Structure 1
Amino acid sequence: MGSTPAKKTMRAQQYDARDNKLHLNEVEIPQPREHELLVKIACASLCHSDVMLFEPNDQGLILGKNPVTIGHEATGTVVSRGSSEAASMFREGDNVGFLCAVDCCFDCTQCRTVHNSWCVTGKTKMQGFTLDGYFQEYAVVDARAAMVLPEGLDVKTAAPLFCAGVTAYHGIEDCQLQAGQWIAVVGCGGLGHLGIQYAKAMGLKVIGLDVADQALEEAKKCGADHVFNSIKDQDWKQKVLEISGGGVDAAVNFTASKKSYDDCPAIIKPGLGLLMVVGIPREPLQLNALDIALGRFRVKGSNNGTCYNMRPAIEFSAKHNIKPHLTTFKLEEIPKMIELMNSHKAQGRMGVVFD
């Protein structure tokens, strides 16, 4: 059961733009506003977007308060709640997951059908970037962007589902393929290993592509029909074309590699195939306008979800036993987690489990 914290401060891993480093600080425990829940964090996991804070980037990543607690992917237990109708739907002790958008209206067309970032109010903030996130012992979250965990999901291991899971699910599902069609999952790590599980649960045939052998081993465990190391195997593109009968029906790119995007058109079935954009490289993508104009392939995007498409992804995960492969660390070990992610030595997802 949840319990109101007896203390007033907590530990938090905070990014400071002044020295571009993390600091383990002691900060005040926040109090929920009327539409918010105070959650005792059970697990918070690391996403590549968190690491982008430390990198030069021209893709629109905005830092707000400084220093700011990083992390936007977590699950936890409700310990107190505000007075709004949305908050009153939860009870102390509920195990919950949530998304990181706050201060948006959740009701305009953009919030309902596109992404909270484009809310008509123009006031949206993202926890972990413009406001404190979840690599801390307690966090406030918007009740409208939260849900009680379905039966079968463990509050200490389900955290990656609430960014990576929702993102990977919709990255695959939004391709609108039929069972038996071919899909290439580009990047088989934190997002991709979940994407492969979703794709197999949807009856698709999967080719996993990565530059790290340990990620390809993970892809095999998750059910990929074929895997290729696109650095070591010089003939991987031709092999993909042969296996898939002329090209995959969709290539879903979960990586932050611009080169991997440049490589995708060569393996997509001409005139029918889709490039699904999920991962965000540091540099803008370059696409051949003639390819798009003449219909060689289509381009579509899939984002990390809203409170409206969160639930189907989470419920699908529970129904089909989709599990993030989670390696756990202590709060003070987050710099080590970042180092492992940057060196491509991590498998699956990495997270902090709190007592």
Structure 2
Amino acid sequence: MGNAIRGYAACSGDTPLRLFDFERRSPRPDDVVIEILYCGVCHSDLHGARNNWGSAKYPMVPGHEIVGRVTATGNDVTRFAVGDYVGVGCMVDSCRACSSCGAGLEQYCERGATSTYNNVDRHDGSRTYGGFSEQIVVSERFVLKMPDGLDLKAAAPLLCAGITAYSPLRHWRVGPGSRVAVVGLGGLGHMALKFARAMGAEVTLITRSAGKDADARALGAHHVVASTDDAQMTAAKEHFDLIVDTVPYQHDINPYVATLAPGGTLVMIGHFGKLEPAVNSTPLLMKRRAVAGSYIGGIPETQEMLDFCGEHKIVCDIETIDIQQIDEAFDRMLASDVKYRFVIDMASLNNAARM
């Protein structure tokens, strides 16, 4: 039998999250037991809890931007010790045998990675529950070492927002001399600006919203382009080597494609689904441009990203909340009323009245 712990769960798509007692699985020899200190709030948590994607299994304990402290380790664990500060992101397991897993790209596991919540443990069939809770049990292979010196609560969203923005910048080899544009200034966008600047790129924010200049420049942008201003978009034509599109809803990407330099790539990291209007292939063929996608990152690259953050003192801009405020936080996220990520102080669970 495992440990009985508390968390906050969604029990349907249209009711508030509530206090939920459940049982974590018993630790296996390669497992790390983690006391959860902080958990970021991702748009995926909102979409999952409210069944926007149609795949919710209730009760659901969301949360996959987890930072905590190791409280116990299995006999086979070699990388972590009691007292270590660690992180857990969007995955807690994979098949570990396919070519993607062998390449450290567990997020593309050919048999499907095991999600931190709303999934099934591939060994014992138990449900996976996420970080809106007191504790989590994870194989050491999917646990990350937190660098010394980072503010742990502000580092929590690095486990999803951070790696999602970092991975395409690394894959497309951004460095000094690269010309990078970031579309959208939210949880993903603000991290993409910070990372691209730290990598030495010339960085531009492209935004539909007025009044973002000061914030964008403070986060690392050299330039700001208003996508609603035809003159500014025309001036940016054929300029960018890489565009990181962080917009989480359906939108027209064709105007952004026109700002790609020959051989440039627009990579989507925010929107899952069809693109409407459709992408016009002519500007792609005529300038060898590409439209691509990128999804989180593998465990080795996530550790690399955390180490990069430790070296460059990069964390997320956050607002800390109590777990009791989670439904309000979801509503504010939908209204884009946060700069730029909510993080739950899980000590607030101690104040939760049993329901």
Q: TM-score range by the shorter chain?
A: 0.7 to 0.9
| Aligned-residue offset at 1:107 | 4.2
| Contact 2:10/2:58 (<8 A) preserved | yes
Q: Which residue of 1 aligns with 2:125?
A: none
Correspondence for 1:339: 331
Change (3 A) 1:277 1:161: same
Say if 1:56 and 1:282, in contact at 8 Å, map to a contact too.
no
Contact 1:275 1:300 (C-alpha < 8 Å) held by counterparts: yes
Aligned partner of residue 170 in structure 1, secondary structure: helix
Q: Deviations over 1:260-287 (max 9, x none)?
A: 5343212212x22111121124534632
Match of 1:44? 39
Structure 2 residue matching 1:168: 3-state secondary structure: helix
**Unmatched runs of 5 consecutive residues or more in structure 1:** 1-6
Asked if the contact 1:247/1:268 (under 8 Å) is kept, the reply is yes
Over the residues paired in the alignment, what is the CA RMSD in angstroms? 2.5
The residue that corresponds to 1:35 in the other structure is 30
CA separation of 1:56 and 1:99: change in aligned 2, threshold 3 A? closer
Q: In the alignment, is residue 162 of structure 1 matched against residue 159 of structure 2? A: yes
Q: Moved runs in structure 1, 4+ residues, more than 6 A?
A: none
1:71-220 alignment to 2 at 5 Å? 71-84=63-76, 87-113=77-103, 115-120=105-110, 122=111, 124-130=113-119, 131-213=128-210, 216-220=213-217
- Conservation of the 8 A alpha-carbon contact between 1:96 and 1:147: yes
Q: How big is each residue's C-alpha offset from its partner over 1:197-251, in whole Å with a ceiling of 9 and x where there is no partner?
A: 11111111111123345765432211211123434x454412433xxxx421111
Change (3 A) 1:113 1:228: same
The one-letter code matched in structure 2 to 1:275 is: L
Deviation of residue 191 (structure 1)? Answer: 1.1
| Residue of structure 1 equivalent to 2:320 | 328
Gapped regions of structure 2 (runs ≥ 5): 120-127, 348-355
TM-score by length of 2: 0.85
Percent of aligned pairs with the same amino acid: 28
CA 1:101/1:202 → structure 2, altered by over 3 Å: closer, same or farther?
Answer: same
The count of corresponding residues between Structure 1 and Structure 2 is: 336
Per-residue CA deviation, residues 286-316 of structure 1 (Å, 9 max, x unaligned), is 3233444444412333221111211211111
Distance change >3 Å, CA 76–CA 225, structure 1 → 2: same
Secondary structure (helix, strand or coil) at the match of 2:263 reads coil
Secondary structure of the structure 2 residue equivalent to 1:221: helix
Distance 1:256 1:149, change over 3 A: same
Question: Match for 2:234 among 219, 232, 238?
Answer: 238
Going from structure 1 to structure 2, the CA distance change for 1:155 and 1:32 (only over 3 Å counts) comes to farther
8 A Cα contact 2:320 2:343, kept in partner: yes
- TM-score, structure 1 length as denominator? 0.85
